[in-house]
Amino acid sequence: MHKDIDRELLVVAIDGPAGVGKSTVAQGVAKHFGLTLLDTGAIYRTLALLAQREAIAWDDDVGLAQLAVDLPIRFTWQGTVNRVFAGDSEVTSDIRMPEISEGASQVSQYPRVRDALLELQRDFGVRGAVVAEGRDIGTVVFPDASVKVFLEAQLEVRAGRRHAQLIAQGKTIALQDVITAEKKRDGRDTGRETAPLRAADGAVAIDTGVLNAEQVVEQVIALCQSVLDRGR
C-alpha cells in the first residue's frame, strides 16, 4: 500500500457483466491502495438469500424493497477474503450458490429494490477511499467517481470461468447450461428499465478475456495513480 497518497481522493467504480473478474480486480486495487472494498453484487445476493429464508418471492418487489431498506449487511477482510455478514451470520459462501446468483439477478431488476439499496451503497463511498464493483456503479451509484472502469469479455470466456469455479466447488453442471444461464443474465441486466448494464460516460473499457487478472489490476492501478498524480 502507498503510504504517501491521499486515499480520500479515490472512488473507483468497476462495472461489467458476470464473469469478467470484477471482484478479483476490485480486490487487487483495494488492497494495493488500502481502500474499502464495496461488493454491490454481494448486497443483491444477500438480499436474495434473506428473501429466500423469509419466504419472500424474488418477484415480490414490494416485499423485497421492505427487506432491503434495513438490510443488515457488513463486510470484513480476513486474509484475501472479503467476508460478508447478514447481521451476526456469515453468508460469504451461501450467497455464491448458483441459485442465489440467479435470485440476485432477478431481484436487482426492480426499481423499488434498487432505490432502497442506493443510499446503502452510497453510504459506503461518502468519505471516499473506496473501490466499488457491480453493474451500475459508474452510471448510478457513483457517477462522479474519480476512476471508472468497464470490464468486458466474450460470453464463452466468462461462462468458461464460471463453469470452472463451479466444478472446483464440487458442483456437477454442463458448460452449455452455464452459457445459457449467463446469456439469460446478460439479457436481463442490459434490458432492464432501471439502471441497465452499460459503460458509464468516461469509463475505460478493458477486455479481461485477453489479459490475466494481474495485468488488469495493473491497468486499473495505473489509472488510479494518474488521478492521484493530478491531485484530484
Return the pLDDT at 195: 85
Q: pTM of the prediction?
A: 0.80
Residue 59 confidence (pLDDT): 96
Return the domain boundaries, the chain.
Answer: 7-226
What pLDDT score does 6 carry?
61
The CATH architecture one would assign to domain 7-226 is 3-Layer(aba) Sandwich (3.40)
Please report the pLDDT score of residue 226 as a whole number.
92
Per-residue model confidence (pLDDT) at position 229: 86
Q: What is the pLDDT of residue 120?
A: 87
The pLDDT of residue 230 is 83
Residue 2 is predicted with a pLDDT of 46
Specify the pLDDT at position 1: 43
Grid cell of 35 as nine digits? 481502500
Q: What is the mean pLDDT of each run of 10 residues along the chain (232 residues)?
A: 56 94 93 88 95 97 96 85 92 92 92 91 79 93 94 96 89 93 91 90 96 96 92 62
